[in-house]
Every structure is written in structure tokens, then in C-alpha cells.
């Protein structure tokens, strides 16, 4: 019932903001234009289409706002007016009242924010789909940002997830590619990450981990700045961190004005992404421009600043290895290796013909190489690969959905900074170095270091185990003999039970015959 009511609400909101006109106007087909003329007889929308779409997504809740945030970064796929309006969803969602924010902080931390902090700004500086941010000053003088979860978020998200689960179930049962696309698993993955976002202590832990990965001594501190967590002022609905100052990565003119090399910045963004994915297996998975700033401080000019750590992704060693090999094979145009990797990993059925898959991948990817980023749409490449995958029954990997989404975000930001950026050539040297480190002597040394603790426990036991084995050479034979004896005894018991059952059956039959005769 709740699912039906939510679906009805979505339809009503769509009609209220005339999204029907927006959808029909984007379909290049005679019947769509005819239907559009009929629809517009009622009244023509007074607001621009981008504003209507943004307002509709805001009205529908956090899941739809996040969808709009992703669309706003894909100016190659979304018209300019829609992308500009949807960009407002990144940090300018209407805030909730400051009184409620203060009450949430007091309940979570045990005191009023005006006593907890030397200064607390009642008006939020940013407001997004899940939470809003207030600036404050600690009693020791440190400037901080206090993130406060929106009230009743869990209930709102559960309604949408219930609807998504129902739709996913229908797609899986009725859709021609339902089982291959694994829609229920994808929704379950989305569910997990959304609920993780509702726990700001988990977000603080994500922030702390990312800060360690790019902190002093890592050799990466010049690439990315991550705020310090103020743990004594953190709880499930409240996250307090070091205040960061910078310029939003989408404000390219401002970055150039302060002397930032935007072309270098674009390349470093790609490097940071691949470093997080393949070196750490832990990556910031919500990299829209509202969450990424660039430092304008002369001491660290041009360094990326990461914000909002509610959604992070992680990959297993298996996933990292196969992804890296796939990327390198793509960069080298080794389409046979791409086909082999898909078969070896189980992403396609084992009986798939290697040469057929190789030819299909070549037909998709070859036209896109040797072009600047301005002429390449990774979204279109993925779409064509997706269409090709249907022919070969490629199974969607739910654990990689976040990675695909983040890669699209990175491409969108790269296009904003430097339209001529070659995504492929920027990533290729990093991946080649990474593979060399894993396969070469350096990789061997690293793995030996990782296993040293385990071997330190095992090695001292080896002489004793060898001595025991040499002094009892027949222990294994003796055990096998005992097992064989027990098996024979069990067989004899089974035969005896069979005979007894036969005798009982005959006796019962004779008794019944005698009774009937009597």
C-alpha cells in the first residue's frame, strides 16, 4: 500500500511540475510531438524546464536529489540549461530550520551548541540532500564545520527504497535481461550505501581513513587535503570536522584568477581517483563538484580538498586486479585480453567464444581512441558496451556500480577543467606502474612483508612437525586402516538390518494371513 501511495505521489509531482512536457519534448518521434501538442493545450509551463526539474527532484526526496546531482556533472549528456539548474542541488537544497538543527545537536552531544562551541553560526553555510552544515569555533580557537543530519531522513529513504525494490523485482521477473542485470542486488547495494550515509560517525571514520591515506609520509600529501575529525563532537546525527577553505572545483574562472594550473589539476584529479581505487581499494564515491574544492591558500595552492565522506567504495584484491588488467588491456587496445579477462573472471558464461567477444569490444572502443576528452563521452562508451554485453549475457557486478558512477563524476569534472584532457593517456602510466609493483620484485617484497607475521608463527613449528612425522611414518596408514574397518562394520550392520526388516515383513504377512483365515 505504501509503495502504491509513493508511486502515486511521484506521478502527481511529475504532473505538477509538467515533467510530462519535458519528457515528450526530448523524444524525437512524430507521435511524441503530436502528444506534446495535445498535452500543452491545457497550459504552458511558466517556469523554465530546468527549474521545474530541480523543484520536482527536491520535492521527491533525497534519492531523487542524488540522481539530479549525478546528472548535473554530465554536461555532455544533459542540456546546458538543465545541468546549470541541477548543479544547485549539490549544496543549495533548501535548509531545514536552525532551531531543529540546534535541538538535534543538543540531544546528540548533551548540551546546547552555544555552550559546546565558543561560537556557533545558526544559519547553515551549505544544505544538501542528507544534511546541512554550520560553521563554528571551538573553545581552543580552532574553526570547525558541524554537519547535522536532516530530521526523519530514514523514513523518507525507506519509502523510496521500498518502491525501488518493488520495481527491481518486476524488472528481474519480467524484463528480458532481468536476471543478468541483477536489479535487486544493485538496489541492495544502493540501500547499504544510503543507510551508511545516515550514520555520521561512519562518515567521520571514512574521513579519518582517507586522511591517513593522503596524510604526511605517504608521498601524496601534495595531491589531496582531507579535514581532521573532531571526535569529541561526533555522534550518529552530528559530524564535526576541521573547517576547510577553498574554491569549488567547478568555478574554473576563479581558479585561473588565483593562479591555479587547471590543466594540471585535471590530470591530478584522474590520478587521485585511480590511486584511491587501485592502490588503496578505498575511494571517495560522491565526487560531484559540491563535494570537491581546490585550495587557494598560497602555501598549498591548487591542492584538492575533499568534503562529504558519506559514500565511499571499497574493492577486493580480486576486483582490483581484474579491473586494472582490463583497463590496461583497453589502453593498449588488446581486446583479446579484455575478452579473456571477462571469461576468466566469470563475468560472461564460460562457453563464450573468445574471438566473438574480442570483435564486439573492438567495435565499441576503437573509434574512441586518439581523441581529446571533449570528443569522447565515457557515458556513451559505457552505453555501447552495455548494449554489447546483452548479446554475451555479461552479468552486472553490483559491487562495481559505485565505481562506474564515480568514474563518470571524474570524467565530468575533468571536462569542466580541461576539455582537451585525455583520460586514457593520463591513467595509463599510473596503472602500468601499479601492475609492475604488484608483479615485479617490489610487489614480491611487499607481499612477503605482509605475510611475515604469519610465517613468524609457523616457521618455529616446522622442525617439530617434521620430527613427529618421521617418527610416526605409518600414522596416516593407520588412520586409513581404522576408517576402512569402521566402514566394513557399518556395511555389516546395514546388511543385518536389511535381513531383520525382511524377516519382520514376512512374519507380519503370515500373521495377517492367519487372522483373515480365522
Rounded to the nearest integer, the mean pLDDT of the chain is: 77
Give the domain-ending residue among 52, 67, 89: 89
Q: How confident is the model at residue 228 (pLDDT cuts 50, 70, 90)?
A: very high
For residue 27, what pLDDT is reported?
Answer: 47
For residue 77, what pLDDT is reported?
Answer: 56
**pLDDT over threshold 70, residue 453:** no
d(CA 89, CA 198): 18
Residue 486 within a domain: no
Q: How confident is the model at residue 341 (pLDDT cuts 50, 70, 90)?
A: confident
Give the domain-ending residue among 405, 432, 452: 452
Q: Same structural domain for residues 264 and 188? A: no
Are the CB atoms for 207 and 286 separated by under 8 Å?
A: no
Q: Same structural domain for residues 80 and 107? A: no
Q: Tell me if the pTM is above 0.85.
A: no
**pLDDT over threshold 80, residue 402:** no
Q: Average pLDDT in the 155-182 region?
A: 70
**pLDDT over threshold 50, residue 220:** yes
What's the length of the chain? 518
Q: How confident is the model at residue 87 (pLDDT cuts 50, 70, 90)?
A: confident
Q: Same structural domain for residues 20 and 155? A: no
Q: Same structural domain for residues 36 and 151? A: no
Residue 378's contacts (CB-CB under 8 Å, 6 or more residues apart) are 407, 408, 411, 423
Q: How confident is the model at residue 82 (pLDDT cuts 50, 70, 90)?
A: confident
Q: Average pLDDT in the 338-366 region?
A: 83
Residue 76: Cβ-neighbour burial (10 angstroms; 0-12, 13-18, 19+) = middle
Residue 323 within a domain: yes
Neighbouring-strand partners of residue 119: 137
Q: Active-site residue among 91, 286, 319, 418?
A: 286
Cell of 411: 570524467
From 305-314, 367-376, 419-428, the region with the lowest mean pLDDT = 367-376
Which among 215, 231, 192 has a CA at the least distance from the CA of 311? 192
Residue 400 within a domain: yes
Q: How confident is the model at residue 89 (pLDDT cuts 50, 70, 90)?
A: confident
Q: Same structural domain for residues 359 and 400? A: yes
Please state, for a pLDDT cut of 90, what percent of the chain lies above it: 24
d(CA 421, CA 252): 15
For residue 418, what pLDDT is reported?
Answer: 86
**pLDDT over threshold 50, residue 448:** yes
Q: Same structural domain for residues 112 and 6? A: no
Q: Hey, is 145 helix, strand or coil? A: strand
Is 319 a catalytic site residue? no
Neighbouring-strand partners of residue 146: 134, 240
Cell 550514520 maps to which residue?
199
Residue 458 within a domain: no
Q: Same structural domain for residues 119 and 248? A: yes
C-alpha dist (Å) from residue 515 to 502, 507, 518: 20, 12, 5
For residue 422, what pLDDT is reported?
Answer: 73
Q: Same structural domain for residues 51 and 107? A: no
d(CA 420, CA 429): 18
Give the pairing type, strands 224-225 and 304-306. parallel
Output DSSP code: residue 227.
P
For residue 80, what pLDDT is reported?
Answer: 75
Measured in degrees and rounded to the nearest 5, phi and psi for residue 472 equal -135, 65
Residue 192 within a domain: yes
Q: Same structural domain for residues 203 and 301? A: no
Q: Same structural domain for residues 264 and 212? A: no
Total number of domains constituting the chain: 3
Give the domain range for residue 113: 98-259
Which among 449, 441, 448, 427 has a CA at the least distance from the CA of 279? 427
Q: How confident is the model at residue 187 (pLDDT cuts 50, 70, 90)?
A: confident
Residue 256's contacts (CB-CB under 8 Å, 6 or more residues apart) are 262
Report pLDDT digits (tens) over 265-291: 998 998 898 899 888 889 998 877 778
DSSP strands (E only) in 118-258: 119-120, 126-127, 131-137, 143-149, 224-225, 238-242, 247-248
For residue 79, what pLDDT is reported?
Answer: 75
Residue 507 within a domain: no
Residue 356 within a domain: yes
Cell of 361: 569490444
Specify the higher pLDDT residue, 174 or 112.
112
For residue 10, what pLDDT is reported?
Answer: 78
Cell 503370515 maps to which residue?
510
Q: How confident is the model at residue 148 (pLDDT cuts 50, 70, 90)?
A: very high
Are the CB atoms for 43 and 199 separated by under 8 Å?
A: no
Cell 586522511 maps to which residue?
211
Q: Same structural domain for residues 336 and 426? A: yes
Task: Taking the CA atoms of 168, 170, 176 and 178 in sequence, report the sign of the dihedral they define.
Answer: positive
Output DSSP code: residue 235.
B
Give the domain-ending residue among 37, 59, 89: 89
Residue 475 within a domain: no
d(CA 230, CA 339): 48
Cell 592502490 maps to which residue?
279
Secondary structure (H, E, C), 383-395? HHHHHHHHHHCCC
For residue 32, what pLDDT is reported?
Answer: 47
Q: How confident is the model at residue 41 (pLDDT cuts 50, 70, 90)?
A: very low
Max CA pair span of the chain: 116
Are the CB atoms for 368 and 331 separated by under 8 Å?
A: no
DSSP 253-264: HHHHHTT--HHH
From 97-101, 124-128, 440-444, the region with the lowest mean pLDDT = 440-444
**pLDDT over threshold 60, residue 514:** no
Q: Same structural domain for residues 67 and 116? A: no
Are the CB atoms for 250 and 258 separated by under 8 Å?
A: no
Q: How confident is the model at residue 397 (pLDDT cuts 50, 70, 90)?
A: low
Q: Average pLDDT in the 426-435 region?
A: 77
Q: Average pLDDT in the 108-123 region?
A: 96
For residue 399, what pLDDT is reported?
Answer: 60
Which among 422, 64, 78, 83 has a CA at the least distance from the CA of 250? 83
**pLDDT over threshold 60, residue 501:** no
Specify the higher pLDDT residue, 55 or 35.
55
Amino acid at each position: 500500500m505504501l509503495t502504491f501511495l509513493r508511486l502515486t505521489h511521484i506521478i502527481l509531482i511529475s504532473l505538477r511540475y509538467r515533467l510530462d512536457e519535458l519528457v515528450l519534448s526530448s523524444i524525437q518521434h512524430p507521435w511524441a510531438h503530436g502528444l506534446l501538442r495535445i498535452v500543452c493545450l491545457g497550459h504552458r509551463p511558466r517556469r523554465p524546464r530546468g527549474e521545474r526539474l530541480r523543484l520536482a527532484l527536491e520535492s521527491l526526496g533525497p534519492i531523487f536529489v542524488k540522481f539530479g546531482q549525478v546528472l548535473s556533472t554530465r554536461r555532455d549528456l544533459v542540456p546546458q540549461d538543465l545541468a546549470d539548474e541541477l548543479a544547485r542541488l549539490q549544496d543549495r537544497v533548501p535548509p531545514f530550520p536552525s532551531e531543529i538543527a540546534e535541538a538535534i545537536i543538543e540531544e546528540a552531544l548533551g548540551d546546547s551548541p552555544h555552550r559546546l562551541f565558543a561560537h556557533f553560526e545558526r544559519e547553515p553555510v551549505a544544505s544538501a540532500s542528507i544534511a546541512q552544515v554550520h560553521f563554528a569555533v571551538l573553545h581552543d580557537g580552532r574553526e570547525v564545520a558541524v554537519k547535522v543530519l536532516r530530521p526523519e531522513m530514514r523514513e523518507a529513504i525507506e519509502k523510496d527504497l521500498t518502491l525501488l525494490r518493488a520495481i527491481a523485482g518486476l524488472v528481474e521477473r519480467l524484463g528480458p535481461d532481468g536476471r543478468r542485470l541483477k536489479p535487486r542486488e544493485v538496489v541492495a547495494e544502493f540501500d547499504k550505501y544510503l543507510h551508511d550515509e545516515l550514520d555520521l560517525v561512519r562518515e567521520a571514520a571514512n574521513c579519518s581513513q582517507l586522511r591517513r591515506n593522503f596524510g604526511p609520509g605517504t608521498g601524496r600529501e601534495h595531491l589531496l587535503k582531507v579535514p581532521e575529525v573532531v571526535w569529541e563532537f561526533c555522534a550518529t546525527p552530528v559530524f564535526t570536522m576541521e573547517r576547510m577553505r577553498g574554491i569549488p572545483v567547478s568555478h574554473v574562472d576563479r581558479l585561473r584568477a588565483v593562479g591555479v594550473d587547471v590543466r594540471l589539476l585535471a590530470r591530478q584529479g584522474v590520478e587521485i581517483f585511480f590511486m584511491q581505487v587501485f592502490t588503496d581499494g578505498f575511494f571517495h564515491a560522491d565526487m560531484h563538484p559540491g563535494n570537491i574544492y581546490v585550495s587557494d591558500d598560497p602555501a598549498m595552492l591548487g591542492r584538492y580538498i575533499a568534503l562529504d565522506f558519506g559514500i565511499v567504495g571499497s574493492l577486493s584484491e580480486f576486483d582490483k586486479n581484474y579491473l586494472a588488467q582490463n583497463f590496461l588491456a583497453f589502453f593498449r587496445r588488446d581486446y583479446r585480453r579484455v575478452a579473456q579477462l571477462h571469461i576468466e573472471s566469470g563475468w560472461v558464461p564460460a562457453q563464450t567464444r573468445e574471438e566473438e567477444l574480442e570483435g564486439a569490444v573492438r567495435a565499441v572502443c576503437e573509434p574512441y581512441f586518439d581523441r581529446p576528452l571533449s570528443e569522447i563521452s565515457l557515458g556513451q562508451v559505457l552505453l555501447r558496451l552495455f548494449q554489447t554485453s546483452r548479446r554475451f549475457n555479461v552479468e552486472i557486478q553490483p559491487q562495481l556500480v559505485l565505481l562506474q558512477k564515480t568514474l563518470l563524476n571524474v570524467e565530468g569534472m575533468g571536462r569542466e577543467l580541461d576539455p582537451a584532457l585525455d583520460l586514457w593517456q593520463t591513467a595509463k602510466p599510473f596503472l602500468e606502474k601499479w601492475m609492475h609493483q604488484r608483479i615485479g620484485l617490489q610487489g614480491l617484497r611487499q607481499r612477503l612483508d605482509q605475510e611475515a607475521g604469519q610465517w613468524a608463527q609457523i616457521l618455529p613449528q616446522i622442525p617439530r612437525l617434521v620430527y613427529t612425522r618421521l617418527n610416526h611414518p605409518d600414522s596416516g596408514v593407520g588412520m586409513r586402516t581404522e576408517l576402512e574397518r569402521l566402514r566394513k562394520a557399518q556395511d555389516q550392520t546395514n546388511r543385518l538390518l536389511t535381513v531383520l526388516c525382511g524377516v519382520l515383513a514376512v512374519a507380519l504377512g503370515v500373521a495377517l494371513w492367519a487372522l483373515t483365515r480365522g
